Amino acid sequence: MQLFMRITSEEFVKKAIDLLKLEYGDVDEFMEKDILGPDSSLHARLFSMFWHIDGLGYMMSQGLIDPEMVYNFGGGFAQVWHWRKWEPVVMRFRERRGDPDFLKWFEYTAKEMMRMRQEKGLMQTPPGQTSGHPLPHHDP
């Protein structure tokens, strides 16, 4: 119930959307200037989300959370959107740290959601991914 309350809070949803709306080009420049720069607020927001999804993956892998439950909190969209958006950044952190397991459960979560979507006859990647913007566009 605590997990449900957290991920449905306005604050959590706003953070997730704001992170998905962030634009970046060069991964190294983005990391140095924006993530690891003097203002730690983006770093904190980003890693809060990374570790949240990473924790879900670890708990799923240990049988502590049913993957179907995670999937049913939004059809696995958020985890896949965040992985697709942040995969280059995570991969660069792995490379820099010399740690191929860094945030491996984040990746696991997204891939598990993609697998489940495929098993249900749905596109692995939710709508909105192909446009370069991770959120579906809705006209007013």
Q: Could you list the pLDDT tens digit for every one of the 140 residues in the chain?
A: 677 777 778 888 899 999 999 999 999 999 999 999 988 999 999 999 999 999 999 999 999 999 998 888 776 788 999 999 999 999 999 999 999 999 999 999 999 999 999 998 888 776 654 434 444 433 33
By CB atoms closer than 10 A (0-12, 13-18, 19+), residue 105 is buried
SS3 at position 20: helix
> pTM for the complete prediction?
0.84
Distance CA(71)–CA(59), nearest Å, equals 14
C-beta separation of 112 from 67 below 8 A:
yes
Distance CA(140)–CA(123), nearest Å, equals 26
Within 10 angstroms of residue 139's Cβ, the number of other Cβ atoms is 3
Sign of CA dihedral 18, 23, 26, 29: negative
SS3 at position 102: coil
Structural domain spans, the chain: 2-119
